[in-house]
Structure 1
Amino acid sequence: MKLLVVEDEKALAQGLKFNFEQEGYSVFTAEDGPTAIRHFEECYESDGESIDLVVLDLMLPGMSGYEIAKEIRRIDEVVPILVLSARELSEDKAYAFDCGTDQYMTKPFALPELLSRVKNLLKRKSLVHKAPVSTRKVPKEYQFGNVTVDFEAFEIEVDGERKSLTNLELRLLQYFIEHEGMVLTRAQILDDVWGEQSAFVTTRTIDNFVLRLRKLVESNPAEPVHIVSVRGAGYRFMPEEMSE
């Protein structure tokens, strides 16, 4: 397993590298964003050499950890990203999750807990890759109704007008598309889309995100035909308008 540690405090970075290597991981350290992203891209483009997990500080010179997380998410949507930061405010944590990170630990931290979290994230990634998938494979560009979704650009085009999506909006929309026609409960969506972040949000958050998506993709958000509500259950995605 290959880990990327992005940390500008050299003593801490070397300490993390030593302890991770003692656990049997291969570790690359980077002190800044450009170096981290360049190495991540090089590994991603090499067969069998991709990074399996990223440990990321937020306060870095020149390029913040938030920006690095966004860029990594543009390259790889599933690689686990664990934030290790001195920032303790809930706003910092929420924004980190919005940028696509999976877990958040504050400094100072307990090494056994960090090692346990890394192990569990890697295990979850392995199970996701090995588990049989019953959902549909979504192409890089997907069209439904008068909407074209560009998953690589984080954009949608509606009647010729392009609009940007946040990471979570895109992940939620992709989740709906992958489960076309299936009734999805709020609990399912919360677990599968928000994952570890679910401890910080409520099912009401899902409703708010659905409203935001409807405003983007529905001709009449008040009477949606693509992201429809299922009374007493949750939501269902329908690529084509259902006939009466």
Structure 2
Amino acid sequence: MASETKRILIVEDEEAIANGLRFNFEAEGYDPVVLGDGPSTLAYFEENSHQVDLVVLDLMLPGMSGYEICREIRERDQSVPIIVLSARNLSEDKMHAFDCGTDQYVTKPFALPELLSRVRNLLRRPRAPLVVKHATEIDEFQIQDVHINFKTFEVVCGEETHQLTTMEMQLLRYFIEHEGDVLSRSRILRDVWEQGADVSSRTIDNFVLRLRKYIESDPANPKHLLSVRGTGYRFVANP
């Protein structure tokens, strides 16, 4: 039983699955709200974002994909936990969902105890723009001519501004807070992603490729986010 009432927004057009999720979330002490399409979901979130504690999101929805919904929610709220629940099981689908800002990805058919465990873990996470597990919090950081704002999730380089997702910014913060350290992929997975998240070492490599596009003048020849062969990565602010 949850210690306090948490509202879970269920975005699912299959009635049997939606009703099953509603029943089990209510049994756990949560307050579930079920919606079946993108426009109604975004309209509800626009009015009630401060009351939504977690989103469970299908990808294949009528009229508007779950990817679009996830992206729209992230533009309004960078911190609300989002779990994608989808029959799509290709790595490309998962990466696209992570690109759009989801926190975790669960494939159908799913094990209910595992889903409930993921929900509990995400709801324990403080509602803040970032979860910092180690060092002193920083709001801004400068890498030569690149300015990083952790409050607005923006990376500014010259006249170009990039809006980062929650996981992109969380990973970038992790590298900055461990400047100079050689960080193995397994350590990054353990420290940055939630336990049990459906991600692999390849996921980290893809995230690093995107971060290099934001902070490197020549992403093909990085000077800040360096690869350490056979191990992982090392961040250097001033090479």
The equivalent of 2:76 in structure 1 is 75
The Cα shift of 1:142 comes to 4.8
Q: Within 2, Cα distance between the matches of 1:227 and 1:95? A: 22
Deviation at 1:8, TM superposition (A): 1.7
Q: After TM superposition, list the pairs within 5 Å mapping 1:7-86 onto structure 2.
A: 7-45=12-50, 49=51, 51-86=52-87
- Cα deviation for residue 65 of structure 1 reads 0.8
Give how far 1:7 is off.
1.0
State the TM-score, normalizing by the size of structure 1: 0.71
Q: Name the residue aligned to 1:189.
A: 188
Residue 160 of structure 1 pairs with residue 159 of structure 2: yes
Distance 1:132 1:212 in 2: 21
Secondary structure of the equivalent of 1:91?
A: helix
Letter in 1 for 2:156: E
Equivalent-residue separation in structure 2 for 1:210 and 1:219 (angstroms) = 14
Structure 2 gaps of 5+ residues are 1-5
Q: What SS does structure 2 have at the residue aligned with 1:29? A: strand
- For 1:137, the equivalent position in structure 2 comes to 137
TM-fit CA distance, 1:200: 4.0
With normalisation by structure 2, the TM-score equals 0.73
Q: SS of the residue aligned with 1:118?
A: helix
More moved, 146-155 vs 93-102: 146-155
1:152 to 1:58, Cα distance in 2 relative to 1, 3 A: farther
Counterpart contact for 1:58–1:84, Cα < 8 Å: yes
- What's the offset of the Cα at 1:25? 0.4
Identity of aligned residues (%): 54
CA distance in 1, matches of 2:114, 2:134: 34
Please give the per-residue CA displacement for 1:172-210, whole angstroms capped at 9, x wherever unaligned.
Answer: 323334x163625123322333445865422x6545644
How far apart are the structure 1 equivalents of 2:235 and 2:7? Answer: 37
- When residues 192 and 29 of structure 1 are mapped into structure 2, their CA distance, relative to the original with a 3 A threshold, is same
Cα displacement (A) at 1:54: 1.2
Task: Go from structure 1 to structure 2 and tell me whether the alpha carbon gap of 1:173 and 1:23 turns closer, same or farther (over 3 Å shift).
Answer: same
Which residue of 2 is the match for residue 217 of structure 1?
A: 215
SS at match of 1:63: coil
Bigger-Rg structure (1/2): 1
Give the match for residue 2 of structure 1: 7
Deviation at 1:21, TM superposition (A): 0.8
Please say if residues 70 and 99 of structure 1, whose CA atoms lie closer than 8 Å, have aligned partners that are also in contact: yes
Partners of 1:74 and 1:152 within 8 A in 2: no
Structure 2 CA distance, aligned partners of 1:38 and 1:182? Answer: 45
